[in-house]
Amino acid sequence: MSRIGNNPIALPDGVTVDIQPDVIIVKGKLGELSQTYDSVIIKQEESQLVLTRPTESKDHKSKHGLYRALIANMVKGVSEGFTKELELVGVGYRASNQGQKLDLALGFSHNIVFELPNEVKLETISEKGKNPIIKLSSFDNQLVGSIAAKIRSFRKPEPYKGKGVKFVGEQIRRKAGKSA
């Protein structure tokens, strides 16, 4: 029994849902998202969506919770949006942006210039005495997560000094250095 899949999805004001036989389209004030689906039945009852599965097979059970979570993220994204924050830890690590181009100085011989899609809003915060922060926000959770993971992969945090690109609030497992 899928505990996640049985929960109904509340639709906030301003969010409209178009359910077609194999695709669902969610529109809101921040944008429009679509998702293909199979092996679940989606019904709109008043101001909520209810997902049911046709049989109790293992495949249907697994996809029941998956599609419920994906559609819930779509509804949240078009109404509120998603934000990820990355922190640059290290001496001389800097981040700046010109429009949708992110310019990173991460200790390599050349700066890394990373072009972001138009759906993602980019903001860089640099305060004296604090680590630079990159703020990514969009209505598409999968897109924001994949871009944040790509930026983090340029210089992952290392376990000895903790230098690198990390998520704000992420705990890094530290190792002790050589003992003399």
- pLDDT for the residue 123: 95
Residue 6: how many other CB atoms lie within 10 Å = 14
pLDDT in tens, 8-34: 999 999 999 999 989 999 999 999 999
Q: What is the pLDDT of residue 2?
A: 56
pLDDT value for 70: 95
Q: Which domain holds residue 113?
A: 82-167
Backbone CA torsion sign across 34, 39, 44, 47? negative
Q: Is residue 177 part of a domain?
A: no
Number of domains in the chain: 2
Residue ending a domain, among 42, 59, 79, is 79
48-73 confidence digits (pLDDT tens) = 999 999 999 999 988 999 999 999 99
Instruction: Tell me what percent of the residues of the chain surpass a pLDDT of 90.
Output: 89
Cα 71 → chain centroid? 14
Buried-exposed string 150-174: b where 16+ CB fall within 10 A, e elsewhere: ebbeebebeeeeebbbbeeeeeeee
- 47 touches 26 (CB < 8 A): no
Burial (Cβ within 10 Å: 0-12, 13-18, ≥19) of residue 121: middle
Residues 53 and 87 occupy one common structural domain: no
Separation between Cα atoms, residue 170 and residue 18, nearest integer Å:
37
| pLDDT computed for residue 179 by the predictor | 81
Q: Model confidence over 120-170: pLDDT tens digits?
A: 999 999 999 999 999 999 999 999 999 999 999 999 999 999 999 999 999
What would the two tokens of residue 84 be? Answer: 């990820």
pLDDT of 171 over the 80 cut: yes
Domain assignment present for residue 3? The answer is no
CATH code, domain with 113? 3.90.930.12
- Local confidence band at 117 (pLDDT 50, 70, 90 cut-offs): very high
**Claim to verify: residue 157 and residue 136 sit in the same structural domain:** yes
pTM of the model: 0.89
- With beta carbons less than 8 A apart as the criterion, state whether 96 and 124 touch: yes
Residue 179's alpha-carbon distances to 157, 174, 175, 176, in angstroms, are 22, 15, 12, 8
Displacement of CA 25 from its chain's centroid (Å): 19
| pLDDT confidence bin for 180, thresholds 50/70/90 | low
